[in-house]
Amino acid sequence: MAFVEKSYDIEIISSSGGVLTPNAFSFQINMGKNRPASWTLEIEDPDGDYGSDVLAPRAGRTLSVIIGGDALFTSPTLIPMSRKWRRTDEGNFLSLSGTDCSKLLMVRGQTMPSQLSAIGDLKMARAIVAGICSAYGVTVSSSFTDYPLMKWMMQSTTPMEAILRLINVVFGEWCFLSGSTMSIFDQAEGPEGGDFNTSNLFVVEEALEMIQIINQVQVIRARTVKNYGENETTAAGRFEIPFSQPIYYPHYVTSGEVNGLWYRGAGTDALTYHHADGSWDYTGTGATPYVKAYASFIADPATPRHGKIEFDGISASEAAIIPGFDQTYDVTINDAASQALYGVFKNDTAITNVLIPTSAIATLHGQRYIREANRLARRITFEPLFDEIVLPCTMINLQEPIGGVTGDFYVEEMSLNCSDEEFSSSFSGVQYGA
């Protein structure tokens, strides 16, 4: 980075000690899409005042750094992870380093209550993401393409991994840009950065790599997996669904009459037959009646025991019953412009993802898969000649050619380095294209 000899007023705001105004400092931060920020703050400490507990890493303790007033840069909420105090010939210094509030979503071994869609009550991805974030002290601002989920389970994982599973269906991208808010966007559709005068930039680094062209992708759901096991035919027109744990989800069947529910009772291995006498909810939708079986009708549901449900009728998945889901789909997505230039290059295997609910979302997934694969593999790092900061996940318009690119340029990473005498910033990113 080319440093500018310029001094800025900087405030350090601690959740435990209010506004701090150290005698001298340096601050570096690196922010990027789909990854936590990393930062380092160094404070000159002639009297040892800041070597106290005020800035020590603690659960629930946060900082924010404001450079040159709000107009230049305000950091997202920062979480200190380490502290180091040292004495040198130049004086005493306190160094802090850490990350952003994504740390709150990195707790291992987490489980949340499962969710299931029903007629008139679809569980949507954005709402589930908001619920996960809220449970761990993070707010969220979502503009990624929303979609319904038939079933959602978060078991023995980190909240962040659970969120990524959801947003990866539509190639969502995330970053902590402000405060403790996780911003989630559609692919390359973050905040608009507007026109950028390239005369105010110079190229620091350019990297160009050969890419593997992919311009045809197949996304499929070939069959529906049944609850806790495949159906086994026991007699003509009759099937059973075995299970080895309590039934937490309804199972739907088309026409026919429920034969009954077998289960093992609490504290016994004796099989009990539960007749359909009101413990079952018969409901109809149009010409397609269906039946629901609930966990509450199973004795001792906290203890997994083997059993089965027997039905007279024709088996069907939930997707065949609840509007908003496709039981099966098989879509092929082509990039005609790329195929005209290079011929057809198909992805090695078909894409399958149990969270993709419909052929429409499958098509969107395939389109964005191709777009991501066919980004121009030219990564350019720019440095503004003036004191300007461009945040990650921002699309800017390069008005004139520079570094071999012009037009829309997607910023994926930003770095800032500031001291009491010098300041510099840089940003890097890519263009999308065939």
Worst-scoring range by mean pLDDT, 29-33, 250-254, 392-396?
250-254
Structural domains in the chain plus CATH codes:
1-100+198-210+378-434 (2.30.300.10), 107-187 (3.55.50.10), 216-222+326-373 (no CATH), 232-316 (no CATH)
In contact, 101 and 204? CB cutoff 8 Å: no
DSSP assignments along 145-174, one per residue: PP-EESEEEEEEE-HHHHHHHHHGGGT-EE
pLDDT range class, residue 51, cuts 50, 70, 90:
low
Q: In angstroms, what CA-CA distances link 51 with 179, 356, 382, 422?
A: 25, 52, 37, 25
In 3D space, the residue among 109, 10, 17, 110 whose CA is nearest the CA of residue 58 turns out to be: 17
Question: Is 80 exceeded by the pLDDT of residue 209?
Answer: no
For residue 132, the SS3 value is helix
Q: For position 55, what pLDDT does the model report?
A: 66
In contact, 380 and 176? CB cutoff 8 Å: no
Give the integer Cα–Cα distance in Å for 350 and 214: 13
Q: Locate tokens 């007699």: which residue?
A: 235
In contact, 26 and 416? CB cutoff 8 Å: no
Q: For position 279, what pLDDT does the model report?
A: 36
Handedness of CA 72, 77, 81, 87 (dihedral sign): positive
Q: Do strands 216-221 and 232-235 pair parallel, antiparallel, or not at all (unpaired)?
A: unpaired
Under 8 Å CB-to-CB from 132, ≥6 apart: which residues? 105, 112, 154, 159, 162, 163
In contact, 150 and 318? CB cutoff 8 Å: yes
Structure tokens, 345 = 């290059």
**Which residues is 173 bridged to in the sheet?**
185
Q: Do strands 181-185 and 139-142 pair parallel, antiparallel, or not at all (unpaired)?
A: parallel
Question: Is 60 exceeded by the pLDDT of residue 412?
Answer: yes
Work out the percent of the chain whose per-residue pLDDT is above 90: 36
Q: In angstroms, what CA-CA distances link 106 with 60, 158, 383, 392?
A: 14, 5, 32, 21
pLDDT range class, residue 161, cuts 50, 70, 90:
very high
Structure tokens, 293 = 């079986």
For residue 58, the SS3 value is coil
Amino acid at 8: Y
What letters, b where the CB count within 10 A reaches 16 and e where it falls short, cover 93-104? bbebbbbbbbbb
Report long-range pairs for 79-87 (Cβ below 8 Å, ≥24 apart): 79/103, 79/104, 80/55, 80/56, 81/57, 82/57, 83/55, 83/56, 83/57, 85/45, 85/51
Work out the percent of the chain whose per-residue pLDDT is above 70: 69
Q: Check residue 371 and report its DSSP letter.
A: H
Structure tokens, 177 = 């840009």
Give the integer Cα–Cα distance in Å for 271 and 293: 17
Please give the residue that has the higher pLDDT: either 168 or 23: 168
Question: Is 70 exceeded by the pLDDT of residue 242?
Answer: no
In contact, 132 and 338? CB cutoff 8 Å: no
Question: Is 80 exceeded by the pLDDT of residue 299?
Answer: no
Give the integer Cα–Cα distance in Å for 263 and 298: 7
Worst-scoring range by mean pLDDT, 115-119, 133-137, 216-220, 360-364?
115-119
In contact, 169 and 356? CB cutoff 8 Å: yes
Structure tokens, 132 = 């996960």
- pLDDT tens string 314-330: 344 555 557 788 878 99
Amino acid at 70: D
Q: For position 196, what pLDDT does the model report?
A: 83
Most confident of 131-145, 266-280, 340-354, 420-434: 131-145
Question: Is 90 exceeded by the pLDDT of residue 105?
Answer: yes
